[in-house]
Amino acid sequence: MKCILIFVLIFAVFLSCNTPSTSPDVNTEDTSANRWVKPTGKDSLLLLTDRPPNLETPLKYFRLDYTPNNVFFVRWHLAGLPDSVSLDTFRLRIKGNVNKELALSVNDLKTKFEPVTITAVCQCSGNSRSFFDPRVPGGQWKNGALGNAKWTGVKLKDILTYAGVKGDSKEVSFNGLDKPPLQTTPDFVKSLSYDHANDGEVMVAYEMNGEPLPLLNGYPLKLVVPGWFATYWVGMLSDIEVHTKPFEGFWMKKAYLVPKGEPNGAEHPDSLAKDLVPISVMNVRSLFVAPEPNEVVKAGVPTDVQGLALDGGFGITKVELSADSGKTWQPAKLDPELGKYSWRRWHYTFTPPEKGAYVLLVKATNAKGQTQPAHQWNRSGYMHNEVETLPFKAE
């Protein structure tokens, strides 16, 4: 109850600069008319829902290599979020199939373990959901449930080794401080296979772009799972449990499932897939950053069309654009790589020959030869990666 009250308070402040607030009970994920808000500790973002907070990064920030913390997108499932976390009392607990249960402070993480930094894209499984046709229920994100950051923290492997994980371990689960507002909603707990958890890349981050994480992005600790969709990047991470049996939690078995054996998680609305598996690696995609949709540029003048491309860590090798509805494709110029789990920026100079309306298409290809389909759909609106379209005008 206390959490809920605190929450109402934060969001009263948060919404005060805006149009009439939604009723406290409104938790519709289906908001297509986004509003601007300036939550505590953040700059202006696009509001999808206020309880729990779901906020989208405006496209203009994707002109930067790293997404600033104060405009990094926010996505929570449960409205019971603490409004502050004290490092004096906060402990990360490691329990289950270990020789030594641990309760580590953030300072313990900083002093007992070797720090690591990795650049990685954090992208919500439902990013770009509003572009699915036919439309699907869920948060109607445009392309801004996405960000690239430098994450600093400790390898999960080192923490597990310190706890002395026993040999017969199968899976590791992760829980945060956020709680369901009603007991009927299952707590948000995610899991990884024991081997994945020990791959030396999955990490527990205490910094994002050289600063402590913003509260709304999971302060003080966030699990970083490079190359995998952000649903696994558990924020306000407080409990790690090692299991000898498969983990059966709601958020692994009932939610965040995609059609099995489909690299883009695709299915057809008339024949839904029967076999579903937990979502995992990010599929290859690209997006336009500038000009913005329906922007007006100058006819006869070269325009710097720019955007980004990303995948699950194989590496972007090619980005191509088409100005003739996909009949012919021309290569874009790729910026230098910032790391295998980072996004990669691209530029393409386009000169609109005359005044009028234009549409450009973009598609990326990765080192595995995976590329973007002309059409892609699934019932949950995950893994959106169909060829991106940019309408704009020249005057």
Ligand X SMILES: Nc1nc2c(c(=O)[nH]1)N[C@H]1C(S)=C(S)[C@@H](COP(=O)(O)O)O[C@H]1N2
Site residues, ligand X (CB under 6 A): 72-78, 122, 124, 176, 178, 188, 217-218, 230-231, 233-236
Query: From the CB of 123, what's the least distance to Mo ion, in Å?
Result: 8
Cβ(386)–Cβ(283) below 8 Å = no
For Mo ion, the closer of residues 125 and 191 by Cβ is 125
Partner from ligand X, Mo ion, none binding residue 74, C-beta < 5-8 Å depending on class: ligand X
Residue among 124, 126, 116 at smallest CA distance from 339: 116
Partner from ligand X, Mo ion, none binding residue 209, C-beta < 5-8 Å depending on class: none
Cα–Cα distance measured from residue 267 to residue 278, given in angstroms and rounded to the nearest whole number? 15
Cα–Cα distance measured from residue 286 to residue 329, given in angstroms and rounded to the nearest whole number? 14
Please give the sequence-ordered ranges of beta strands (E in DSSP) within 215-353, or none if there are none: 222-224, 237-243, 257-259, 276-278, 285-290, 296-297, 303-310, 316-322, 330-331, 333-334, 344-350
Query: From the CB of 235, what's the least distance to ligand X, in Å?
Result: 4
The answer to whether residue 104 forms part of the interface with Mo ion (CB under 5 A) is no
Cβ(172)–Cβ(237) below 8 Å = no
* Residue 161 Cα distances to 91, 195, 254, angstroms: 18, 13, 31
Cβ(229)–Cβ(220) below 8 Å = no
Exposed e or buried b per residue across 191-207, where buried means at least 16 C-beta atoms within 10 angstroms of its C-beta: bbebebbbeebbbbbbb
For Mo ion, the closer of residues 56 and 207 by Cβ is 56
Query: From the CB of 190, what's the least distance to ligand X, in Å?
Result: 7
| Joined tokens for residue 171 | 């899976």
Partner from Mo ion, ligand X, none binding residue 394, C-beta < 5-8 Å depending on class: none
Using CB positions, name the residue nearest to Mo ion.
124
Chain centroid, CA 222 distance in Å: 12
Query: From the CB of 252, what's the least distance to ligand X, in Å?
Result: 13
Query: From the CB of 84, what's the least distance to ligand X, in Å?
Result: 16
For ligand X, the closer of residues 77 and 253 by Cβ is 77
Cα–Cα distance measured from residue 126 to residue 389, given in angstroms and rounded to the nearest whole number? 18
Q: Which residues pair with 175 in a beta bridge?
A: 189, 239
The answer to whether residue 258 forms part of the interface with Mo ion (CB under 5 A) is no
Query: From the CB of 382, what's the least distance to Mo ion, in Å?
Result: 9
- Angle at CA 344, nearest 5°, toward 341 and 346? 170
Q: What binding mask, one character per residue, do residues 36-75 give for Mo ion by CB under 5 A, x or -?
A: ---------------------------------------x
Cα–Cα distance measured from residue 377 to residue 375, given in angstroms and rounded to the nearest whole number? 7
Residue 329 has phi, psi (to 5 degrees) of: -130, 140
Using CB positions, name the residue nearest to ligand X.
176
Of residues 70-89, those binding Mo ion (CB under 5 A): 75
Give how many residues touch Mo ion by CB under 5 A. Answer: 5
Among 124, 221, 252, 282, binds Mo ion (CB under 5 A): 124
Query: From the CB of 252, what's the least distance to Mo ion, in Å?
Result: 14
For Mo ion, the closer of residues 15 and 146 by Cβ is 146
Partner from Mo ion, ligand X, none binding residue 176, C-beta < 5-8 Å depending on class: ligand X
For ligand X, the closer of residues 234 and 287 by Cβ is 234
For Mo ion, the closer of residues 75 and 384 by Cβ is 75
Cβ(314)–Cβ(367) below 8 Å = yes
Q: Which residues pair with 149 in a beta bridge?
A: 120
Query: From the CB of 147, what's the least distance to ligand X, in Å?
Result: 7
Partner from ligand X, Mo ion, none binding residue 218, C-beta < 5-8 Å depending on class: ligand X
Query: From the CB of 53, what's the least distance to ligand X, in Å?
Result: 8
For ligand X, the closer of residues 235 and 278 by Cβ is 235
**With the CA atoms of 24, 29, 32 and 34 taken in that order, what torsion angle do they form, in degrees rounded to the nearest 10?**
50
Among 140, 231, 303, 376, binds Mo ion (CB under 5 A): 231
Residues interacting with Mo ion, by CB under 5 A? 75, 124-125, 230-231
